[in-house]
Amino acid sequence: MSRLSLEQKLAILSDAAKYDASCASSGGQKRTSKDGKGIGSVTGSGICHAYTPDGRCISLLKILMTNFCIYDCVYCVNRVSSNVRRARFTPEEVVTLTLEFYRRNYIEGLFLSSGIIKSPDDTMADMVRIAKLLRTEHRFRGYIHLKTIPDAAPKLIEEAGLYADRLSINVELPTDSGVKTFAPEKDPVQIRRAMREVKEHKEARSDRSHTGKRPPKFAPAGQSTQMIVGADGANDSTILRTSSRLYTGYRLKRVYYSAFSPIPDSSSALPLIKPPLIREHRLYQADWLLRFYGFDVEEIAESGTEDGNLDLDIDPKLAWALKNRHLFPVDVNRADREMLLRIPGIGQRSVGRILSTRRHRTLRYDDLRRMGANLKQARPFITLLDWHPRGLTDTEHLRARFAPQPQQLQLL
């Protein structure tokens, strides 16, 4: 094999990394380089430095250390049985690319992942070495996200958490049986054990010692995971129940849903499909309802379709409201926060504004418009001083008002 240039390696190893949905740089510990003795900062809220035509944000330099891999996960572009071109960065190359991109304001930091080479421990040790080089030798204070190898030694995971802002371990598929079928070398029990270890390290290091000193922070931006949607047969209710367990059981910051997407040199065991992007979008909306709107996973599951999936035509909050019309219309001037959050078209921010303004006066229709509520959606579900939906809430065709019109057939 001829020696690859840095440019060729970058092409191969970013192409290999693009199926990981996460690129977030939020939630890190705030840092600066104002002292002039290093480079980089973390603002806490994350920045998308560019968008590709797939609408995804580029926040981090998302690359694989190597796409050589000894595993054979059917859905993965880097599986051992694939004929894609292989490459491997040296630690110094990763460090240089990160720093040079960072200095030109292209990125917030590094998201490093890897195929498994030799052994999980060897791979993890190399990744930790890169993070350590960046932090200690180059005084890099930007964001680092390391994809943790679940089978790596606990000691290595602990070290990774000292250099990285975020750790993640992919659960890969929503069910254990899915993992066994499509990622035969991976063990769901081991994946969960590794996630528990990260959670425990983080908790142990957030307590002060008896002297009142805080230990060095462990992965301050927490841990996240990813599930592939549409490769196995799991329905949306199953997926959301898995997410809900992950959020509560392992204190995950985010669960990412990645629509299974065509890959070059795909396996005959998994035919290529058009990636289910709307389904992925609805899952994110439902995920939001679980985390920020006080919804229970079963409430969302019940307002979906009969086969246990989310309604693709309307968003899950609207779907829930349509199934629970007896609770509407809600009096915006009297309802409590919990109920306001359940009104379709009214988000968290609008709820905050409603509550703050309500302390002084009674709200009218135009007030809500100025507060940024989506009244087209909210209208049938609310009453205000000068607005009542009358029979609109109960009309049979309410769903049809929101669902997209059926597309007209075209002559071929």
Interacting residues with other proteins between 187 and 246 (CB under 8 A): none
Place of tokens 């009542």: 388
Q: How far is CA 206 from the centre of its chain?
A: 24
| Number of alpha helices (DSSP H) and beta strands (DSSP E) in the chain | 15, 10
Rule CB under 8 A: say whether 404 interacts with other proteins: no
Binder among 267, 285, 309, 395 for other proteins (CB under 8 A): 267
Rule CB under 8 A: say whether 100 interacts with other proteins: yes
Binder among 92, 338, 366, 386 for other proteins (CB under 8 A): 366
Binder among 1, 2, 3, 104 for other proteins (CB under 8 A): 104
CA dihedral 32, 35, 40, 45 (to 10 degrees): 10
Binder among 155, 274, 390, 401 for other proteins (CB under 8 A): 274
Binder among 159, 185, 299, 313 for other proteins (CB under 8 A): 185
Rule CB under 8 A: say whether 43 interacts with other proteins: yes
CB of 332 to other proteins, least distance (A): 11
Q: CB-based contacts of 53: which residues, under 8 Å, 6+ apart?
A: none
Of the candidate spans 68-76, 202-210, 308-316, 330-338, the one that interacts with other proteins by CB under 8 A turns out to be 68-76
Rule CB under 8 A: say whether 311 interacts with other proteins: no
DSSP-assigned beta bridge partners for residue 340: none
Structure tokens at 68: 């050589």
Rule CB under 8 A: say whether 33 interacts with other proteins: yes
Rule CB under 8 A: say whether 101 interacts with other proteins: yes
CB of 385 to other proteins, least distance (A): 11
Q: Which of residues 371-400 bind other proteins (CB under 8 A)?
A: 371
CB of 411 to other proteins, least distance (A): 22
Q: Which of residues 145-184 bind other proteins (CB under 8 A)?
A: none
CB of 269 to other proteins, least distance (A): 9
Beta-strand ranges (E) seen in 306-371 are: 330-331
Rule CB under 8 A: say whether 275 interacts with other proteins: yes
Rule CB under 8 A: say whether 277 interacts with other proteins: yes
Provide the 8-state DSSP code for 136.
I
CB of 338 to other proteins, least distance (A): 20
Rule CB under 8 A: say whether 1 interacts with other proteins: no
Of 361, 386, 382, nearest to 373 by C-alpha is 382
Is the distance from CB of 246 to CB of 225 less than 8 angstroms?
Answer: yes
DSSP-assigned beta bridge partners for residue 330: 382
Rule CB under 8 A: say whether 3 interacts with other proteins: no
User: What is the CA angle 56-229-236, rounded to 5?
Assistant: 115
Of the candidate spans 238-246, 249-257, 263-271, 398-406, the one that interacts with other proteins by CB under 8 A turns out to be 263-271
Binder among 1, 2, 3, 54 for other proteins (CB under 8 A): 54
CB of 194 to other proteins, least distance (A): 18
Of the candidate spans 54-62, 191-199, 291-299, 336-344, the one that interacts with other proteins by CB under 8 A turns out to be 54-62
Binder among 1, 2, 7, 326 for other proteins (CB under 8 A): 7
Which pairs with CB-CB distance under 8 Å and at least 24 residues apart come from 266-269? 267/74, 267/75, 267/79, 267/81, 267/82, 269/74
Q: Which is nearer to other proteins, 357 or 374 (CB)?
A: 357
Q: CB-based contacts of 356: which residues, under 8 Å, 6+ apart?
A: none
Q: How far apart are CA 137 and CA 154, in angstroms?
A: 24
Binder among 103, 155, 214, 337 for other proteins (CB under 8 A): 103
Binding mask 122-141 for other proteins (x = CB under 8 A): -----------------x--
Q: CB-based contacts of 374: which residues, under 8 Å, 6+ apart?
A: 344, 345, 346
Rule CB under 8 A: say whether 341 interacts with other proteins: no
Cβ density class 86-118: b for 16+ within 10 Å, e for less: bbbbebebbbebbbebbeeeebbbbbbbbbbbe
Please give the single-letter amino acid code of residue 326.
Answer: H
